[in-house]
Every structure is written in C-alpha cells, then in structure tokens.
Amino acid sequence: MTDDAGERFPEPPDRAPDVADDFSAPVLRDDVWVPEYLPHWTTPDRSQAHYDLGASGIRLLIDHDQLDWRDEDAPLRVSNLQTGVFSGPVGSITGTHRHRPDGLTVRTATPERLLWAPSAGRIDVTVSASVDEGCMLAAWLVGVENLSPQHSGEICLFEIDASAVGHSGSRARCGVKAHGDPALVTDMAEVLVPVDASRPHTWSVIWGAGGAVIGCEGLVVRRVPLAPDYPVLLLLDLFEIGEPSRAASAYPKSAVIHSVRGWDAGARHQRSR
C-alpha cells in the first residue's frame, strides 16, 4: 500500500537539472561518479564497482569472482556509484556512512571530493531492478559527515529485493534512516508499486525543510516529516546478499541504471539572489 494512493508526484522544476546523466558517454563520467562503494572503510580491490556501459544505461554487475566488500561483512558483494567521497586518516572513525553498529575504521584514506552533494532538492532515477537470486538494487542519499559526525542521516529512495519483483506489482522499502543523527527518527516502510520493477521505471524524491516526498512512476508513495538538512551523497547500489550462487553460469548478476537527473535547491537559491 502507498501513503497517498493516487496522488500525483510534482512535475520536475522548469529549469535544467544541475546534474544529468543517461550514461551514453563512452566512459563513466568522473565529474559526477565515483565507481566505488564507501571505499574508505575497505580496500580498492573490494570497493571497486563492476559495470558495463550500453545503449540503455549502465549495467551494475556482480561477478562470480567478485570479492566481499569486507571480510567482516561476508557474504556481501556490491557494485556502487556515488557522487563523492570523504574520510579521515587511516585508522580513524571519520568518514561517510558509519552505518555498522559494531564500528568501522578507515582502511583507505579518501580526501574530500564532493562532485554533487546537495542539502535539499529533487532527484529522478530511472532503473531496472535485478531479478537475480540474492540481489538488491538500492538508491540512497546519505549524509557526507564532513561538517559533523551527526550529519549521518539517510533518505532511502528505494531498496528492491529481487524476490520482491513481480510482473503486476513489486515491493520496495523507502523512507528515512536516522543512523547517528539525533534530529531524525528512522521511518521506513514497505510499499507496493504497480510496476514490474525489472523493467525501466522512475523513482523520485523531493526533500528539504518539510521532510521528504518519495514517488514512483509519477505517483506519491511515501511522505516522511523529517529529512537530512545537510550535504548528502547519492549512492546507487547493486548488492548480492548471502552466500554466492554455486554455479558460475548464474553470473554476472545485474541491474541497470538508465538515467539520473538532480536539482539542487541551494543552487537554485544562489542563482536567484
């Protein structure tokens, strides 16, 4: 069920996006994307995304010989794109997305590089989710934590398990996670959307002082009253969770990101001054 069944999601702003990518370039754009998953908490051979670019977008891959993101999290393998990086020095606990309750320490220092980190705005992401066993496709906005370790909240635009994809409807989780932000309250829910999520479909979020509104295919699916009000990074992730498939023929497992468009509300304010 949706929070606001039948309510239309607002139309995009009447100006060009501040960031837009349909992945049609011959190589991944390094002015927008870091093709690693939280590289500071692990090592490059484990954080590096596996992917290929094609006519319909970027296909995130999980390969048969891909390493777990960290030994401590095994079995967990991921290919991810994110719009920046930040961490403290090796051995410190300073860095983006300290999401593990048992603690994380920096293994690979990643100096601050924020390619796109709005504090409020709108994002539209068009995807085709994975139907491969054990996989999950997700889109998150996570606090950079470069200004304060309390700036750690997350907007979960969607988390779609392969097992939740259906021809006439699919289930997804969305909402807000507080993590270490005392100003937020975790507010996650499962929603049913009337789409086959393995086919191209668009998720949207608008967030700012009034909270966050999440939509799918032009309809509102959730409203959350609180949202991060500090710089966040966009993460687009394909996970394989649980024991890998025994058969090499089951790989690569994949999901497709067709396009991303984003509007920074702060950038709009700056232009209007």
Q: Which residues contact 166 (CB under 8 A, 6 or more apart)?
A: 196
Domain boundaries, the chain: 19-272
pLDDT value at position 272? 36
Highest CATH level, class, for 19-272: mainly beta
pLDDT value at position 270? 40
Q: Is the pLDDT of residue 18 over 90?
A: yes
- Average pLDDT for residues 68-83, to the nearest whole number? 96
pLDDT value at position 5? 58
Cα angle for residues 202, 139, 52 (degrees, 5° grid) = 85
The first and second tokens of residue 260, run together, are 């991303």
Instruction: Tell me, rounded to whole angstroms, the distance of Cα 203 from its chain centroid.
Output: 11
- pLDDT category at 64 given cuts 50, 70, 90 is very high
- pLDDT category at 103 given cuts 50, 70, 90 is confident
Q: Is the pLDDT of residue 75 over 50?
A: yes
Q: Which residues contact 176 (CB under 8 A, 6 or more apart)?
A: 153, 154, 155, 156, 184, 185, 186, 187, 188, 212, 224, 226, 227, 228
- For 150, 165, 210, 222, the CA distances from 196, given in Å and listed in that order, are 37, 6, 31, 19
